[in-house]
Structure 1
Amino acid sequence: MTQKEFSETINFHSSSLRLHALNFTKDPEDANDLLQDTLLKATRFVSKFEDGTNIKGWLFVIMRNTFINNYRKCLKTREHITQEEEITYANLFHSAETNGSVGNFAIQDIKRALDLLPEKYSSSFIRYFEGYKYHEIADQMQIPLGTVKTYIHEARLLLKKHLKQYRS
């Protein structure tokens, strides 16, 4: 099968693939992303497709496997997210969005609480909050990985103590 024939064939099946993706994701935007990922993988691995086999079935299998892999990746990401009662951007944002003036007070309180932290705790916590991984913080600060984890944990405990009025 030539590349042109392959492209025409997967283009022909794209509408049924999109419906299948919608069954998986239950969201039109996510379905479009899944369809795009599926067609991209199919195009990349066209050499693995054997002529004479069911191309629609092959595409559906690629889509199913892509969806499962993405789902597993999301689960792993959720495992690394901190507990709800811990200080997180989502919790701080929720407490700050209720009212503009209340939000300004919350931001001021957060800044004060961060200023009260010992330097070793605040510097590692702020880096973590900015999105750095534990090992990156350890490399930047030239301290052991376990120490970074301890500093961040202690910072969270102190921030929780100083910001307890914002717990929901």
Structure 2
Amino acid sequence: MLYAIQNPIYEQLDKVSNSLRAFSLKLTGNYNDADDLYQDTAVRIITNADKYNQGTNFKAWAVTIMRNIFINNYRKKVRRNMIVDQTPNNFYINSGEERVANDGEHDVAFGELMRLVDTLPNDFREPFLMAYDGFKYEEIAEELGSPLGTIKSRIFFARKKLQKLYEENYRERA
């Protein structure tokens, strides 16, 4: 029994305690976070006991409370980790007065890069070019009829291969 007080909410919470703990672990994937989530849920259940309708499914009510707490905590965490760029958009725009020297266009021309891309096997070249054209991974996977993970790995390995080819063919220019 969780508490010495004989209260129907405490008794029902005690009965579903193991299920709630398992569900909290499933949501968080971490024992410490699961314990915190369970405790937050238990407190919320006890403080809102008057809102529970006797005779309804207590476990479903408790699981809903736990899920909502988890979602709210996740959203708070995402908002806390979000970085907002307050830089004015025109900060990096060239005013036309002075050009920044950049020899990148002289090192490797676009045509030379495309010749390197053409050396890739078709299974890698096609998804890479679609990604280059701005397609999302999901769109590429759907268009090519391949699993999403396969598309991501092919694009990754295409990039690695192109980096290697670039170093082999154009290193002496740098």
| TM-score normalised by L of structure 2 | 0.44
Larger radius of gyration: 2
Larger relative helix fraction: 1
- Structure showing greater relative contact order (alpha-carbon pairs closer than 8 Å, 6 or more residues apart): 1
